[in-house]
């Protein structure tokens, strides 16, 4: 469900929706509680709430911070993998001129085909599903380098480096697809913990006694926005290859730009 929201709903709309739903729902519950239990307004239980609420808030903040940090680390790893894939391909493109014109043209064509196919498949690859076009383009690129017959020591050195780079390129692509397939966000049990602690934070803010209704509604509203923002971050960061905070195919597009340059 969260994957669908990240993939189909703009991030600003998702954040606004969470704030509206959580803030509005909490306000309705708060109005009911204040009407149903008028004695809570006098704050006779505030001493206990003041003791318990900071403990819950600290645990909640630590938990959300830990989850966000872990998810952000996944995004950084995915971004580094994509950058490696693009950077290695660019280096291979720049070293193609060490070979003959015909071989250089074949390398350029094969790299161009791979770059375009890998960029075009990005949406499907974000779900861990490779396309035949990209796989076939990578296979043809392997064949091009395997068929090169070096004529001197310089070409032998460049070919050795190119084959090593090609291996690194293939590895980076495989890692990217595996990361997209396996990084599917927090498990259900962790989501339950997030919802439970969020509910506790909202619940204690609701029962906190205050004679001034505006001040009480303002305090609960602020807590609601905080909870909504935290849920937004966890949701958006759960998928390293989807959403506004995800990595992008820009490194692969740079390869196409380099190969399209007349120089």
List, for residues 73-114, the tens digit of each pLDDT value: 989 999 999 999 999 999 999 888 888 889 999 999 999 999
Nearest C-alpha neighbor of 220 from the set 5, 9, 31, 35: 31
Q: How many Cβ atoms are within 10 Å of 31's Cβ, its own excluded?
A: 12
What's the full length of the chain, in residues? 263
Residue 106: per-residue pLDDT: 93
CA-CA-CA-CA torsion sign (239, 181, 89, 260): negative
CA distance 176 to 53: 42
Average pLDDT score over residue span 222-228: 93
Mean pLDDT comparison of 18-22, 34-38, 259-263, highest-scoring range: 18-22
Q: Could you give phi then psi for residue 198, rounded to 5 degrees?
A: -65, -40
CA distance 260 to 263: 9
More confident call, 230 vs 5? 230
Helix (H, G, I), strand (E, B) or coil at 110: helix
Instruction: Give the global pTM.
Output: 0.80
pLDDT above 70 coverage of the chain, percent: 90
Average pLDDT of the chain, as a whole number: 86
pLDDT above 90 coverage of the chain, percent: 43
Average pLDDT score over residue span 106-128: 89
Residue 43, exposed/middle/buried by CB under 10 A (0-12, 13-18, 19+)? middle
Contacts of 56 (CB under 8 A, 6+ apart): 197, 200, 201, 204
More confident call, 113 vs 203? 113
Helix (H, G, I), strand (E, B) or coil at 147: coil
CA distance 40 to 207: 7
């Amino acid at each position: 469900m969260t994957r669908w929201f990240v993939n189909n709903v703009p991030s600003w709309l998702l954040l606004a929706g969470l704030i509206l739903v959580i803030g509005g729902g909490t306000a309705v519950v708060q109005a009911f509680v204040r009407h149903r239990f008028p004695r809570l307004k006098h704050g006779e239980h505030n001493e206990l709430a003041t003791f318990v609420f900071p403990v819950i808030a600290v645990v909640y903040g630590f938990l959300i911070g830990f989850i966000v940090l872990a998810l952000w680390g996944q995004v950084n790893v995915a971004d580094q993998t994509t950058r490696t894939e693009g950077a290695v391909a660019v280096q291979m493109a720049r070293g193609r001129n060490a070979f003959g014109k015909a071989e250089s043209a074949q390398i350029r064509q094969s790299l161009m085909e791979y770059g375009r196919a890998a960029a075009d498949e990005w949406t499907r690859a974000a779900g861990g599903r490779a396309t035949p076009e990209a796989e076939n383009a990578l296979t043809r690129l392997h064949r091009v380098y395997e068929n090169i017959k070096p004529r001197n020591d310089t070409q032998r050195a460049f070919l050795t480096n190119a084959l090593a780079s090609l291996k690194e390129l293939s590895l980076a692509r495989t890692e990217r697809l595996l990361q997209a397939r396996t990084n599917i966000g927090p498990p259900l049990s962790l989501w339950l913990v997030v919802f439970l602690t969020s509910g506790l934070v909202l619940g204690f803010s609701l029962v906190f006694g205050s004679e001034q209704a505006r001040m009480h509604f303002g305090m609960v509203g602020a807590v609601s926005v905080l909870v909504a923002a935290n849920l937004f971050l966890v949701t958006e960061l759960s998928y390293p290859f989807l959403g506004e905070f995800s990595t992008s195919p820009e490194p692969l597009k740079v390869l196409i730009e380099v190969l399209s340059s007349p120089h």
